[in-house]
């Protein structure tokens, strides 16, 4: 049985081995954990989410938050879950809802027409296409909500993240010596205030 993004109904080809630097990467087949489901996070998921943070390396957490982080506070997680607009999606084995393999958030922060994108995949699951599938899912959901664009702050040496964002059509611009901003346009025509 191959893994698939259940929310999109997209089945990925099954492979026994995942080459680290091969051109194509696919999720490993079900012998390991079976089907993976991507679904919206709720505030009740915080303990499992913090377990995932603890399993991740300090480098992964730093890449996600741009500062040392070990776990999330309830208020932060509640914000990441969203309240009607934007939110966080989690990937979990269908057979083990208590284990979170990855999380992706897209939320309006300072700019209501360009939402902030961030993602963290469990170290053991990095490089298996899970990040790509989750990012596509979150970006498609954000586009469907009528949002103009999404933005992500990324360390300039974060190769995986930059590849992933470029695949989604991101334009990359330098912020400072260590950080770049990825900008993904979701709508062809920007919304003009007052237009139908
Ligand atoms: C960045 C991250 C989300 C990517 O998710 P992932 O599931 O590991 O990545 P994927 O397997 O989907 O691969 C994404 C791209 O990186 C490439 N890649 C994967 N592993 C790689 C490696 N070891 N070396 C170079 N490229 C690699 C893939 O080939 C793919 O590029 P392609 O589409 O051009 O082939 C994940 O590694 C992560 O959570 N990192 C820590 C947190 C972070 O950096 N967040 C981003 C900032 S918010």
Cβ 26 under 6 angstroms from ligand 1: no
Give the Å distance between the CA of 94 and the centre of ligand 1.
23
Give me the pLDDT at residue 194, please: 58
pLDDT digits (tens, 9 = 90+) for 106-133: 999 888 889 999 999 999 999 888 899 8
Residue 121, ligand 1, Cβ within 6 A: yes
Index of the ligand 1 atom closest to the CA of residue 126: 8
Ligand 1 near 150 CB (within 6 A): no
Three-state SS sequence of 75-101: HHHHHHHCECECEEEEEEECCCCCCCC
Percent over 70 (pLDDT), the chain: 79
CA of 61 to the centre of ligand 1 (A): 14
pLDDT of 78 reads 96
Backbone angles phi, psi at 186, to 5 degrees: -105, -25
Structure tokens at 155: 């360390």
132: closest CA among 58, 24, 42, 35?
A: 24
The pTM (predicted TM-score) of the whole model is 0.86
CATH code: domain 4-185 is 3.40.630.30
Pocket probe for ligand 1: among 27, 160, 169, the residue whose CB has the most ligand atoms within 8 Å is: 160
What tens digit of pLDDT does each residue of 75-92 get?
Answer: 999 999 998 778 999 998
Query: Distance between CA 29 and CA 11 in Å, rounded?
Result: 11
| Count of positions (residues) in the chain | 196
| CB distance 74 to 43 below 8 Å | yes
Low-confidence ranges of the chain (pLDDT < 50): 1-10, 12-31, 196
Gap from CA of 95 to ligand 1 centroid (Å): 25
């Amino acid at each position: 049985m191959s893994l698939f993004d259940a929310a999109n109904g997209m089945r990925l080809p099954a492979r026994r081995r995942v080459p680290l630097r091969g051109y194509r990467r696919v999720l490993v087949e079900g012998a390991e954990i079976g089907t993976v489901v991507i679904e919206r996070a709720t505030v009740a998921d915080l303990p499992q989410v913090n377990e995932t943070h603890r399993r991740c390396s300090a480098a992964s957490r730093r890449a996600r938050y741009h500062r040392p982080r070990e776990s999330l506070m309830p208020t932060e997680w509640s914000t990441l879950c969203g309240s009607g607009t934007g939110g966080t999606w989690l990937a979990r084995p269908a057979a083990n809802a208590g284990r979170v393999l990855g999380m992706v958030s897209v939320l309006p922060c300072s700019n209501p027409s360009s939402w902030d994108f961030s993602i963290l995949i469990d170290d053991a699951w990095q490089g298996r296409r899970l990040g790509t599938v989750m990012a596509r899912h979150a970006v498609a959901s954000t586009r469907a909500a009528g949002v103009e664009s999404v933005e992500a702050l990324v360390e300039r040496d974060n190769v995986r993240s930059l590849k992933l964002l470029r695949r989604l059509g991101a334009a990359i611009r330098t912020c400072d010596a260590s950080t770049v901003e990825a900008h993904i346009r979701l709508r062809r025509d920007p919304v003009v205030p007052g237009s139908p």
